[in-house]
Amino acid sequence: MSISLVLPVLTQFELIPSAPFAFDATFFKPDHFPTPDHVWQPGVRWQTMRWGEKMLGLKFEQRGSVDAPVLGVSVWSSAALTQAQQADLARELTYRYNLDLDLSAFYQRFQADAHVAPLLTQFRGMRLMNPGSLYEYLMIAIVLQNATVRRTVAMMRTLMETYGTLLEFDGQTLFAFWLPEELAVVSEADLRTLKVGYRAKSFLRVSQAFAKGEIDEMALRSQPKETQRKALLGLYGVGPASVWYLLVDVFHHLDELNTISPWEQKIYSRLFFGTDPESPLGVETLREHILSHFSPYPMMAVHYVWEGLFWERRNGGAEWLAPLIRL
DNA sequence: CATCAGGGCCCTG
DNA sequence: CAGGGCCCTGAT
């Protein structure tokens, strides 16, 4: 099917995350939906990356300790990277993986919280992260809409196989995303043969907006949250649910929590009130509880609780979650 | 076999 | 601002 592109040139450097730093809990999120662009094992993550025109293969390795952390970064590429490109890349990775995040105020705020404190210990040094670009996250957000997880995985894989590029580096073979301008010129009919349904139009319109430069991720990063929200909502096929994920994961707004979807509503009800997921509390009640109880870091607190739940499930527990996830 | 909701969003009235 | 329609799929 796809011919893989071998990346021969290796560049290596190290980054120093702020301490404490939890490698595994940051570099692998068991609740993230699996895209065929990365692999994780304890202490190591392989990840493809589109960096401008470049196709990169990345390997992150855990070094040092939680309190004196070092992140090993290996980069495979077609051509050698200049010093400037390497510095650019290091900055971008630091942003995407939140390597500079200062967790101390958050930890102090919740050190005596009966619900959250044990998770601060379990995941000490964990951050939210998003490995990809805004554009790539938008593609993911669109396949997530109104579909079960099994179907989103199938749609993403077909899209990658059709429009992505298979990269080979360090013994791994993983897909890299396509660029917006590449998908922008595809016909809607072609996209629909991939069984993405009405989402075909959203992929196209969003890709066209990026190809025309109507959205600039780097410029948006320094804009106020409401400016970002407005820009994102302006994209065809992007509504409040997707924007919430984007504001938190891509733009790092840890105070953002406006939308609670039905499946999340059931899980929050059980997590925070112990209620039967089949008769959950109302979204208003849940939002007020989360915002007041976990202020001023509702999303960080929810993230710790949420990761606790999904790691538990990965380790064989939290059986009640299964029917709510609908794999 | 039909119907329906799903990890939403757009468009219409 | 409420509600129908939308691609497809698995559950019922």
The answer to whether the beta carbon of residue A150 comes closer than 7 angstroms to any atom of strand C is yes
The answer to whether the beta carbon of residue A230 comes closer than 7 angstroms to any atom of strand C is no
Q: Model-level pTM? A: 0.96
Listed in sequence order, the DSSP H helices in A198-327 are 199-211, 217-221, 225-233, 240-249, 262-268, 283-293, 298-314, 322-325
Q: How far in angstroms lies nucleotide C8's C1' from the CA of residue A212?
A: 31
Listed in sequence order, the DSSP H helices in chain A are 23-27, 83-96, 104-110, 117-122, 134-144, 149-163, 180-183, 188-192, 199-211, 217-221, 225-233, 240-249, 262-268, 283-293, 298-314, 322-325
Residues of A 228-267 whose CB lies less than 7 Å from any atom of strand B: 235-243, 245, 259, 261-264
Per-residue pLDDT in tens (0 to 9) along chain A, 327 residues: 568 999 999 999 999 999 999 999 999 999 998 899 999 999 999 999 999 889 999 999 999 999 999 999 999 999 999 999 999 999 999 999 999 999 999 999 999 999 999 999 999 999 999 999 999 999 999 999 999 999 999 999 999 999 999 999 999 999 999 999 999 999 999 999 999 999 999 999 999 999 999 999 999 999 999 999 999 999 999 999 999 999 999 999 999 988 888 888 889 999 999 888 878 888 889 999 999 999 999 999 999 999 999 999 999 999 888 888 877
Q: Which SS3 state, helix, strand or coil, does residue A294 take?
A: coil
